[in-house]
Amino acid sequence: MSGKDKVIRKYLSAIGRRGGKRSRRTLDSDSARSMVQVREAKRAFQRHFFECFWYSDPDLVITKDDIGWIADQLKKYGSVECWKLGKRLCP
């Protein structure tokens, strides 16, 4: 094995060990929960667009402030499945 191969092997070994350690992201639990809620609201908006959000812009950017509105529209205009989803979105 040449010297260059040893250096590369040592480097890959070092970054492989780092990947197994705890994540370096510093994200508090409230922010993580908020991110999950926004992701679920986006998914609900896309999945039930024609049923509950047909009058809205299909390219609407969903933010944390829109979660309550999405939940209300799901519960007001949607099926039982939508109502349950809306209930789950609103804490």
> Is 72 within 8 Å of 45 (Cβ atoms)?
no
Examine residue 86 and state whether it is found in any structural domain, yes or no: yes
How many domains are there within the chain? 1
pLDDT tens digits along 58-82 = 999 999 999 999 999 999 999 999 9
* Predicted pLDDT of residue 21: 56
Examine residue 22 and state whether it is found in any structural domain, yes or no: no
What does the H/E/C string look like for the chain? CCHHHHHHHHHHHHHHHHHHCCCCCCCCHHHHHHHHHHHHHHHHHHHCHHHHCCCCCCCCCCCHHHHHHHHHHHHHHCCHHHHHHHHHHCC
pLDDT tens digits along 9-57 = 888 877 776 665 555 667 788 888 889 999 999 999 999 999 999 999 9
Examine residue 4 and state whether it is found in any structural domain, yes or no: no
Examine residue 9 and state whether it is found in any structural domain, yes or no: no
Sorted by sequence, the CB contacts under 8 Å of residue 73 that are 6+ apart come out as 52, 53, 86
Examine residue 50 and state whether it is found in any structural domain, yes or no: yes
Q: Which domain holds residue 87?
A: 29-91
Question: Both tokens of residue 88?
Answer: 């789950």
Predicted confidence band of residue 6 (pLDDT cuts 50, 70, 90): confident
